Amino acid sequence: MGGAPAASAGGRCERPPLLPRVAATQGGGMLGKGVVGGGGGTKAPKPSFVSYVRPEEIHTNEKEVTEKEVTLHLLPGEQLLCEASTVLKCVQEDSCQRGIYGRLVCTDFKIAFLGDDESALDNDETQFKNKVIGENDITLHCVDQIYGVFDEKKKTLFGQLKKYPEKLVIHCKDLRVFHFCLRYTKEEEVKRIVSGIIHHTQAPKLLKRLFLFSYATAARNSPAMDPKKHAVMFDTLQDWCRELERTKGNMKYKAVSVNEGYKVCERLPAYFVVPAALLEEDIVFFQGRGIPIWCWSCHNGCALLKMSALPKEQDDGVLQIQKNFSDRIYKTVHRPPYETAKTEDLSSNFLSLQEIQMAYSKFKQLFLIDNSTEFWDTDIKWFSLLESSSWLDIIRRCLKKAVEIIECLEAQNMNVLLLEDNASDLCCLVSSLVQVMMDPHCRTIFGFQSLVQKEWIMGGHCFLDRCNHLRQSDKEEAPVFLLFLDCVWQLVHQHPPAFEFTETYLTVLSDSLYIPIFSTFFFNSPHQKDTNVGRESQDSQSKPLNLLTVWDWSVQFEPKAQTFFTNPLYVEKPKLEKVQRKGTHFKHQRQLSLPLTQSKSSPKRGFFREETDHLIKNLLGKRISKLINSSEELQDGFREFYDGWHSRPPSYQGLLLPRLEGPEIKVWAQRYLRWIPEAQILGGGGVATMSKLLEMMEEVQRLQEKVEARHHSQEALQAEAASPPRTSGRLSSLFPFALLQRHSSKPVLPTSGWKALGDEDDLAKREDEFVDLGDV
């Protein structure tokens, strides 16, 4: 801003500058709501009247109004830790100083910005409002990185600071980016809020110090909800027996209670399923390791099993004992009535957790955009950056591995045994994908939630470590569950009628990983959960904590918002109608998949539309052909099975296979692009198509009701007919999340980026720079 004094050595202004207080006569009546305009990237219209006052005067004059309009809503057990006033939440635009004044607070649950125009947000557009987390709320577990801006330079903040920044930038794990200008905040408040945020988001924590326990303790006497209304929890022997009956696996497998009270192994659940011929002493011998544990049974009697590897030993005597034990187990499961088993060692010839974490770390940087210029700059290298992250290729490899296993179960009538060190990471991922593809029950909301409970929660996936909730070690962090959700999204995108749930459901589920009022994703094992909530406590006087499960969506959303989770086009039963084999492709601004080859490039218009049509030929070169087919070719048997399924009309209540070719694996736009205004199409995209379909379905339903209710009067029918139809014109392609954006920014062709590239001949020589070719 013009007239700002020089910053001190600590990067802070000694005295806040005079700001123009605008009392505009045309469209400028936002000052009473705390909106302040400044030197943004575009020229603001000249105000009719300017009065120069200091920011603290604005804050003082509106203090009474602010206190009435803005209140900090605390959950049970939540405590305020520190706060700062006169904080400017900046709009994410180029060199922008515009934004909203308000308070920045930090509690033991979240960071919250209380803007002076909060009342303006209470309108019909916030129909998808989260009741726990507001638009300007960040749970402490959702904070990814914190940066400080010192003299226009952004630096990572951690530990104790010697000087404090004039601007705070917070990158979130749900890919939101917040900019808070502290230039006009009192220095003592800046020190408290910055130090408090850094400490409570980055310092290592103890499990019992998580807000999860504070919330559960405060709500101990609240009525307990019944989690079994939303999913099978698999915490009783009866749950496992019913699952065996549902899948027709009870003839060859049995549910056991040998680990009740976690007497045998703390990794395993209290109850699980093993081959019926397996002896109880074999389960106990190596504390649950080295034994096949049942996951799911196919309709032909074959089963999917998993096994954790035996401990690695150097002693020859112990190695011989392990060999004899393994031989005995394999003989047990290979003889009739069990089919021949194929072993898939996921620890040695598949992905590693380090690969997954490294790929996602690169991938997410494409969407943590600070401003519009940064967005357009990354667009020029969109393909090369997307390829170099390897995230889409990892998704493809996971889907391919699942299809390979399905081919063994379905076509070769073989049992498949998944082997992994602890059988709690890639085993959970692959076995869950197989079940989603083969079992239509797992494609319903109730079935999918039960699947996550069975394979991930009871399967001992280390959510606490993989999500790094305690901030104790980055070495164990890896987004395995997020990778699973991304793989499921690919299936939902390719076969929408096969799923009862929508991509919005998957997006909200991924966000719930970081909300510490639900116990679902905050423990490493059922044993750890039961131990810490008092269920195994020897003190009979202590009442176990009442922990919430994430599956009770009413805690976060009103019933109207929950309707976004259900797919209105879901096909419950097979229908005898001709189905178009080619999948429906929705238009996005930015191409969300890598191109296949030069000859198969999309003829549709690209991200810059007609401005780039004349450059496409120059940009397609030999490097494009390397983007997809870098991995091994499909084997003959697998290719025959894969091509055979895709040559037939799909049965949405039967086996479901994904398309694995490069362009078919896309970026999950709703999750990754929802906070970027430039990536949205107002009134367009798949949402516009879906909205029109919903309007048609609602109209058909209304007509059916009219036919059935013949006793309705003619006047009532005319009144209904006169009602105006709904319109989807205001919806964004990334609805329902995009409407949470309070500002809109029209995409403008960035001339500065193109000037730096030189002419077309020079541009064609740059093999690693690509321009979007349009949607596939």
pTM of this prediction exceeds 0.85: no
Give residue 590's pLDDT. 57
Structure tokens of 490? 């690919």
Give residue 117's pLDDT. 64
Give residue 692's pLDDT. 77
DSSP 422: S
Give residue 587's pLDDT. 37
Q: What is the pLDDT of residues 742-752, one digit of tens each?
A: 444 444 344 33
User: Is it the case that residue 185 has pLDDT exceeding 90?
Assistant: yes
Separation of alpha carbons 17 and 607, rounded Å: 41
User: Is it the case that residue 72 has pLDDT exceeding 50?
Assistant: yes
Separation of alpha carbons 494 and 492, rounded Å: 6
| pLDDT category of residue 652 using cuts at 50, 70 and 90 | very high
Dihedral of the alpha carbons of 550, 554, 560, 566, in degrees to the nearest 10: 40
Among 80-94, 187-201, 432-446, 455-469, the minimum mean pLDDT is found in 80-94
Q: What is the mean pLDDT of residues 125-150?
A: 91
Q: Which residues of 594-607 are buried (b: 16+ CB within 10 A; e: fewer)?
A: bbbeeeebbeebbb
Under CATH, what is the fold of the domain 80-118+129-203?
PH-domain like (2.30.29)
Give residue 63's pLDDT. 44
Q: Which residues of 332-354 are buried (b: 16+ CB within 10 A; e: fewer)?
A: bbeeeebbebeebebbeebbebe
Q: What is the pLDDT of residues 235-256, one digit of tens each?
A: 999 999 999 999 999 999 999 9
Report which residue type is found at 151: D
DSSP 474: S
Q: Considering only CA atoms, which of 645, 514, 494, 506 is closest in space to residue 566? A: 506
- In the chain, where the domains are located: 80-118+129-203, 237-565
Structure tokens of 564? 């976004």
| pLDDT category of residue 684 using cuts at 50, 70 and 90 | confident
User: Is it the case that residue 408 has pLDDT exceeding 70?
Assistant: yes
Separation of alpha carbons 428 and 737, rounded Å: 29
Contact 32, 65 (CB under 8 A): yes
Q: Considering only CA atoms, which of 37, 311, 12 is closest in space to residue 165? A: 12
| pLDDT category of residue 415 using cuts at 50, 70 and 90 | very high
